[in-house]
Amino acid sequence: MVSLGIGTWAMGGPFWAGTQAVGWGPTDDEESARALRRAVELGATLFDTADVYGTGHAEELLGKVFAGRRDEIRIATKWGNVFDPATRQMTGRDGSVAHMRRALTESLRRLGTDHVDIYQLHIGDLPFEQAAELRSACDDLLMEGLIRAYGWSTDDPERAAVFGTYVQAEMNVLHDRPDLYPVLEIQNMTMLCRGPLAMGLLTGRDWATAALPDDDVRNKVPDWMQFFKDGKPTPEFAKRVEAVREVLTSGGRTLAQGALAWIWARCDRAVPIPGCRTVAQVEENVGALAFGALKPAELAEVQSLLS
């Protein structure tokens, strides 16, 4: 059965790492709240966030919207980044057990809950020795009832294999992850798919006329950004989108729905978590569930077109 979560990075609003924007520009909390509630109405009840998104704002928003409704949803959040809410600045990283404990306490406060359903390490390249200490500490958190499960937000298969029952990694039709799929099977893990719509490139937006604000991470892009440069899609990936557009939009799907359908067809342990901040985005993305996965022949055609 296919499954989908909702990402809340964009709902956190602007924040920075020095002069580098790492948010998605201005946001409307009232619209975000309507979008979150609509997601639950449509059956999408897993929400992925992080303490650093909007330097705490995304978690606070989730806590306010679902106050008194905690049993209706599952929350996946992350720790590892250090930040200053007053300046909305990321100020570093901390992979210590002591910081993990502090970060969880603060996340629980912002979320207005007594537990996190999936707690994820947000430092993707942390050394194995430190990760082993955190893994042991996460087992303690499980015993204390403060978390229900844990995992690592990392694109490295070796790291994913040694930490919990979840991994969060980038996966989309433009960035396949055959290196990770065997790990999921062998370790009996679930993958939360970060960037399932390629930072918006797979949404069908008219990028020829789109203008992104200065505080959008896709404008002045960080080193890890591959799909955008200077606020526009990189030509290589724009061509790849056009190559598969017809297949992905067959059967009445939108481009975004087809991109999600590709993920479900490619890996049955994958749960895409597309970022949303409007009701329309939630309705479109959750609407992909009604179509389900691409058919085997459609998946094969996409793979052939991109090979």
> How large is the greatest C-alpha to C-alpha distance in the chain, in angstroms?
52
The total of structural domains in the chain comes to: 1
Range of the domain at 52: 6-306
230-249 residues labelled b (16+ CB within 10 A) or e (exposed) = ebebbeebbebbeebeebbb
pLDDT in tens, 151-165: 999 999 999 999 999
Tokens 């059956």 map to which residue?
A: 43
Token pair recorded at residue 233: 């899609």
**What is the reported pLDDT for 304?**
98
Q: Is residue 19 part of a domain?
A: yes
**What is the reported pLDDT for 232?**
93
Helices marked H in the chain: 29-41, 57-65, 97-111, 128-144, 157-160, 181-187, 235-248, 255-266, 279-291, 296-306
Give me the percent of the chain exceeding a pLDDT of 70.
Answer: 100
Q: What is the mean pLDDT of the chain?
A: 97
Q: Is residue 45 part of a domain?
A: yes
Cβ neighbors of 47 (< 8 A, separation 6 or more) are 5, 6, 8, 36, 39, 62, 73, 74, 75, 76
Mean pLDDT within 290-304: 98
Question: Cα separation of 1 and 205, whole Å?
Answer: 29
Mean pLDDT within 175-186: 98
Q: Position 31: which residue type?
A: E
Token pair recorded at residue 102: 């502090």
Residues recorded for the chain: 307
Task: Give the pairing type, strands 118-121 and 6-7.
Answer: unpaired
**What is the reported pLDDT for 221?**
83
Q: Is residue 293 part of a domain?
A: yes
Judge contact between 50 and 77, C-beta under 8 A: yes
pLDDT in tens, 265-274: 999 999 999 9
Judge contact between 37 and 78, C-beta under 8 A: no
Q: Is residue 1 part of a domain?
A: no
Q: Is residue 241 part of a domain?
A: yes
Judge contact between 97 and 134, C-beta under 8 A: yes
| Predicted confidence band of residue 256 (pLDDT cuts 50, 70, 90) | very high
Question: Cα separation of 219 and 239, whole Å?
Answer: 20
Judge contact between 42 and 286, C-beta under 8 A: yes
CATH value at residue 114? 3.20.20.100
Judge contact between 196 and 273, C-beta under 8 A: yes
